Amino acid sequence: MGHAITGAGELHVEQQSSENEVNPAGREVISPRAVHTNRRLVIVSNRVAVDSGKHDSGGLAVAIRAALEKSGGIWFGWSGKVEDSPGNEPELIAAGPLTYATLDLSQRDFDEYYLGFANRVLWPLFHFRAGLVDYSRKDFSGYLRVNRWFAQSLAPLLLPHDLVWVHDYHLIPLGRELRCLDQAQVLGFFLHTPFPPAEMLRILPNHRELVEGLCAYDLVGFQTKSDAQGFCDYLIHWAGAEDLGNGALRAFGRIVRTQVFPIGIDTEAVSGHAAAAETSRHMQRLRRSLGNRTLMIGVDRLDYSKGLPARFSAFGKLLEAYPETRNRIIFMQIAPPSRSEVPEYKEIRRTLAAAAGNINGRYSEFDWTPLRYINKSFGHQILTGFYRAARIGLVTPLRDGMNLVAKEYIASQPREDPGVLVLSCFAGAAQELSEAVLVNPFDVEGMAEAIRQGLDMPLGERQERWTAMMKTIQHNDIAHWRESFIAALQASGGPA
Ligand code: F6P
C-alpha cells in the first residue's frame, strides 16, 4: 500500500478553500483534500517502521511515511529492541525531511507495558474478551511509566506548531503526559482496535484514568460509529461530560472531538500488485499444486481475536455436510505467529495445530490435503497474488477494528471473474463492505453455509457484489483516511 500520496503539507491552513461546507450544526466541515498545512507532522506509534529500502513495509507504514515526507516531521516510538540498559535519549535517524526517533525498551518495560498491560489487558478487553484480561497494578504502572518516559523523550523534539498524531492502544496516556510537560500542540489520537461499550470498559480498574487520558487529545479518531459511540457513552454516563454536538464533548475540563475515520488500503497499488503477481513463480507453483481445485484463503496474525478455531470448524462442517466439496476445495490459512511470549497466544497456537491435524487426518486423501495451515509470513506482493487466485476470501474475526485483509482481498480480484468475500459482521470492515457474504463467526453452521453459497455463486452476482465493494474501497483508500484525519486534526485546534 502507500502510493499516490497527495500529502499533508504543501499549502497553508489559513487558506482554506471555498470547497469547505457548513453543516446544519453550523460547524465547518473540512474537505480533506482542501486543507493543507505547512505545519510539521509528528507521528507516535508503538512500533516505528524505519524504511529499510526493501519495500517490505505494510500500507499504514508507507502511508505515514509519505505524509511525513511531504510535511517534514518525526516518527517517534519503540525501536522493537529490548536492551539490558536502554539509553534515555532517542536514536535519531534522518531520512530527508523525516526523522525517525526510536527508543529501546528494557526487559521490565517490555514485560509490563507491552506484554502485560497493552497485550494482556487492553487488547483482550478492547476485543470484548473480558475473560482473557489478566490485570495487575504492576503492569498498569509499567504502562504509565513507559508512556511518561516516551513523553519526556519526545517533548524536547517538539515545536510549538507541530501537529502530533498518536496511534493505538499502547499510547493512550501519552497525550496527558505531554500536557503535564506543558506541551500545548494540537494532539490527535487514532485507535486502530475496537473501543468497548462503557459497561465492558468498566471491568478495567483504571477505566476512568484511561478515558481521562484520551480527553487530553484534541481529536480522538475511531474506526467505526459503534467504537466512537462507546467512548461518548462512557464520557456522558460515567464522567459527567457535556455533549456539545457534532462529536464534541466537554469532559475533564477540556473539549475533545471524536470522529470516525475507517482506515483503508492503497487500493490501486494492491490491484496492480495482484495483477502483476499473476505470472510470478509463486503463482505458478500455487496453481500447479491446486490442479483444478478451488482455493479458499484466510490470512491473519495468529491471534485469538481472529476466530480461527471456529473458522477451522466451519471448514470441517462444510466437508461433513457437503461431501461433494471433498477433493474439490483447498483451504489455505496463512497465520504467522504473533506476540508468542503471551500465554494466550501460545494456547491458541496449540489449539489450531491440533484442529488442523484433526481435519486433515479425517478428510485427506492420498492425493488431496484439504487444509494447508501455514505459520509463516509472505511478502505483500505474493499475498496479493494468492488472494487473486482464491475463489473465496474468509475473514471471520470474532471482533476486529477494521481488518484490511478483507479490503486487500477485494482489491486483488480480477474484474472479469471476482471471488467472494465471506466476512464477519464483527469486523469494522463489515460497516463498509455490506455486499460481502456477512456471517456471524460464532455460528459455525452458518459459516459453512456461507462458504457453500460462495462456491455456488453465479458470475453475475459475484461481479455485482465486487463492483460495489471495489467502489467503496477506491473512495475510502489509505490516502483519504490519512488526509481526513490530518484535516480534522488541523481544524480541531480552535473553539468547538
Ligand atoms: O492491529 C493492532 C496492532 O497492534 C498493530 O498496530 C500492529 O501492527 C499489529 O497489531 C501487530 O502487533 P504487534 O505490534 O504487537 O506485533
Residue 249 Cα to ligand 1 midpoint, Å, equals 29
Residue of 36, 192, 273, 380 with catalytic role: 192
Domains of the chain: which residue ranges? 13-264+478-493, 267-475
- Of the pLDDT bands very low, low, confident and very high (cuts 50, 70, 90), residue 57 is low
CATH of 13-264+478-493 given 3.40.50.2000, 3.40.640.10, 3.60.60.10, 3.40.50.450: 3.40.50.2000
> Model confidence over 271-308: pLDDT tens digits?
999 999 999 999 999 999 999 999 999 999 999 999 99
Q: DSSP string spanning 8-59?
A: S-SS-GGG--TT-EE-TTSPEEPPGGG----S-EEEEEEE-----SSS---H
- The pairs formed by 128-135 with CB atoms below 8 angstroms and a separation of 24 or more are 128/194, 128/196, 128/200, 128/398, 128/399, 129/304, 129/305, 129/398, 129/399, 130/200, 130/203, 132/304, 132/344, 133/203, 133/204, 135/204, 135/205
Residues in the chain, how many? 496
Q: For residue 65, what pLDDT is reported? A: 84
Mean pLDDT, rounded, of the chain: 90
Specify whether domain 267-475 bears CATH 3.40.50.2000: yes
| Ligand 1 proximity of 377 Cβ (cutoff 6 Å) | no
What are the tens digits of pLDDT across the range 181-203?
A: 999 999 999 999 999 999 999 99
Average pLDDT over residues 85-95: 92
Domains 13-264+478-493 and 267-475 share a fold: yes
pLDDT at 328 > cutoff 70: yes
Reported as a pLDDT band with limits 50, 70 and 90, residue 56 is low
pLDDT tier at 23, thresholds 50, 70, 90: very low
Q: Which whole number is the average pLDDT over 145-173?
A: 97
Closest ligand 1 atom to residue 168 Cα is 6
Active site residue 400: yes
Residue-wise pLDDT for 130-153, tens only, equals 999 999 999 999 999 999 999 999
* Confidence at residue 146, expressed as pLDDT on a 0 to 100 scale: 98
> Who's near 300: CB < 8 A, 6+ residues apart?
306, 308, 333, 334, 335, 397, 405
- Ligand 1: atom nearest CA of 45 is 6
Q: How many angstroms is it from 198 CA to the middle of ligand 1?
A: 24
Has residue 454 got a pLDDT over 90? Answer: yes
Is the Cβ atom of 282 under 6 angstroms away from ligand 1? no
**C-beta of 339 in contact with ligand 1 (< 6 A):** yes
The reply to whether 192 belongs to the active site is yes
Index of the ligand 1 atom closest to the CA of residue 114: 15
Q: How remote is the CA of residue 4 from the centroid of ligand 1, in Å?
A: 25
DSSP per-residue codes, 230-278:
HHHHHHHHHS--EEEETTEEEETTEEEEEEE------HHHHHHHHHHHT
Per-residue confidence band for 60, with pLDDT thresholds at 50, 70 and 90: confident
